Amino acid sequence: MVDVIKRNNVRVVGNANQSIVLAHGFGCSQNVWRHFVAAYRSKYKLILFDFVGAGQSDLSAYDSDRYSSLEGYAQDVLEILEALHITSIIFIGHSVSSMIGVKAAIMQPAYFSKLIFVAPSPYYINEAEYIGGMEKEDLHNLLELMDSNYLGWSSLLGPQVMANEDRPELGEELVANFCATDPDIAKEFARVTFLSDTRADLENLQTESLTLQCSNDILAPLEVGYYIKEKAKGNTLQILEATGHCPHLSAPEETIKAINAYIQIEQ
């Protein structure tokens, strides 16, 4: 029997009745949620974890077939909830984890009361009238660079994704996160992240949701936020003043304030 807690390095902080699950994005680990832990640990039970291949997860549990699609990662989320015997959670997902949360909520809606998307995208590629942010050729070139020079790719992409040039330490942190992830697993997860098209899932989502879109994000432009708002039933769109793809790190106070307003707790 799989030890889900060990596999995903699950950590529970706080003992309140209402649970918040924090799901990190590609190339990161649960450590990116440290500002949220400080803000919410006294009010909520926080569930943190690492996807297999990231942080302190069990690398031996990685299975290329299982994780060849976002469904495999969504199944991990559901198995964590089952192992902890919790339902009606507030799920906060960053980047690709937003869509992992969508898939998990479609598969088992009773586990979820609200979904909160931080810099989400259901599809990263420009296609016809859809603006995803990247041309297909440019994305494939980026993935080829990742294959040939993972460390160089990390150093190039990290600061661009963080997009806070006046605070280079933020970009350096993202690069360090990329470099702490198993490179072989990261290459496979990158393809699943950037090539998956989850637009059709949005129309099947029944759980209410909040989209937090940054004002300038090279990976998830504003058009993506408006697309999610249009396609996902019960979605609320909030445009943040924050720039870059990681507002939970670059602008945690603004991000937390927007979430507080949505889940209606005192500031």
Report in angstroms the alpha-carbon separations of 19 from 72, 89, 113, 117, 170: 22, 5, 10, 16, 28
User: Catalytic residue among 24, 217, 248, 250, which?
Assistant: 217
147 is catalytic: no
User: Catalytic residue among 95, 98, 154, 250, which?
Assistant: 95
Report in angstroms the alpha-carbon separations of 100 from 136, 141, 146, 159, 181: 22, 25, 23, 25, 19
* Count of beta carbons in the 10 Å neighbourhood of residue 15: 8
User: Catalytic residue among 24, 94, 245, 248, which?
Assistant: 245
Order the strands of the 112-118 sheet from edge to edge: 11-13, 45-48, 19-23, 89-94, 112-118, 209-216, 235-243
245 is catalytic: yes
DSSP string, 196-234: ---HHHHTT--S-EEEEEEEE-SSS-HHHHHHHHHHSTT
Q: Which residues are catalytic?
A: 95, 217, 245
